[in-house]
């Protein structure tokens, strides 16, 4: 598998060892940095490790999920295996930061238990 980097200006995949894009002279962000980046906002924004600049690939979360799902059903896109792998990692990372119903129920239940305990200590 070839390592690649995404140019943050022209959004083209480049060789990972390049210091700057030959067409626009911006620094490409490596695949590893993209996968490890903290997603800040959508459409698919992340922070450049080199400059701290906010980068947007210009797709919404739903579009990214749709691309992944359609590809897994056999619909071909112009994306390489690596791009789809990265896409899956980004989506998993995003979903792992979201609270589901179970987490909220646990937090609310724990809070109620503490309030009831305090009420029994001081009122009852």
What's the confidence (pLDDT) of residue 83? 55
Q: Check residues 86 and 123 and name the one with the higher pLDDT.
A: 123
Per the structure, the count of domains in the chain is: 1
In this model, does residue 75 exceed pLDDT 70? no
- Owning domain of residue 66: 4-122
The mean pLDDT of the chain is 63
- What b/e readout covers 85-107, taking b as 16+ CB neighbours within 10 angstroms? ebbbebbeebeeeeeeeeeeeee
Q: Are 99 and 91 in contact (CB under 8 A)?
A: no
């Amino acid at each position: 598998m070839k390592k690649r980097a995404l140019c943050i200006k022209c959004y083209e995949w480049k060789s990972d060892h390049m210091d700057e894009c030959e067409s626009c002279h911006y620094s490409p962000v490596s695949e590893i940095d993209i996968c490890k980046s903290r997603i800040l906002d959508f459409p698919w924004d992340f922070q450049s490790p080199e400059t701290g600049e906010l980068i947007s690939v210009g797709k919404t979360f739903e579009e990214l999920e749709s691309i992944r799902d359609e590809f897994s059903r056999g619909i071909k896109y112009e994306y390489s295996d690596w791009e789809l792998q990265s896409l899956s990692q980004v989506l998993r990372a995003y979903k792992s930061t979201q609270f589901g119903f179970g987490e909220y129920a646990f937090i609310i239940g724990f809070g109620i238990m503490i309030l009831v305990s305090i009420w029994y200590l001081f009122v009852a």
